[in-house]
Amino acid sequence: MHVVMLAYPCMTQLDLTGPFEVFARFEELSLHLAWKSSDPVVDGSGLGLIPTTTFADCPQADILFGPGGPGQINLMADREVLTFLQAQAENATYVTSVCTGSLVLAAAGLLTGHRATCHWLSLNQLAYFEAEPVAERVVVDRNRVTGAGVTSGIDFALTLAAALFGEDRARRVQLSMEYDPEPPFPGGSPSSSDPAVIATVREGSAAFQQQREEVAQTAAALRAQFSQCSVSSTAK
């Protein structure tokens, strides 16, 4: 089975590398990091990753995956990226994401009418694209599987692996990775965090979140306009 994982500039590498680590432990899965070119891409913190395939040479995905990160806002109206995702999704068995990667899928029209999740700071933006935002760590809706923020990528991948290969094998991989999180502090989600901490995080990311919000609204409007034009063209 081919797992096609979008790799783009300014993504959050753990969105991608967490699931990659899980999927790489199943010999049935062949992993592909896809981008426009084979040039290295640098994530939002400066880590370089090398795509293994270009859009033009990419095999058909059985599992299509999109990570999130700051660079997501540049993809929301990137016709080349959105067209690639749409074409791959058409025959993919699963269409998936982690963090704000779900917003890129949504901008491509791939989450319309589906329940989905996202990083908590951007969860509401899914509704702009007629998806149903769900504040859960992993959300499965038919063949759409989405993970919440960053670290949920491991949970997402283990959930999908269990669906593909059975819970017993997924449990063995979880153990082999020693994935048994005991964070040093309580409060890794809004539901368990001190309101003052939440307010500080919101304040620190307010400017960027405003930009992300505006881009999402614009992309949603363009998506709606494109859909109306397509309907009108078909009607003629």
Closest alpha carbon to 162 in 30, 18, 26:
26
Closest alpha carbon to 139 in 161, 121, 117:
117
Closest alpha carbon to 22 in 65, 60, 72:
65
CA distance 185 to 214: 33
CA distance 128 to 222: 11
Active site residues: 99
CB atoms within 10 A of CB 165: 15
CA distance 144 to 92: 10
Structure-token pair, residue 24:
């790489």
Structure-token pair, residue 89:
């999704």
Using only C-alpha atoms, what is the Rg of the chain? 17
Query: What contacts 157, CB < 8 A, 6 or more positions away?
Result: 18, 19, 21, 22, 23
Closest alpha carbon to 55 in 30, 74, 71, 32:
32
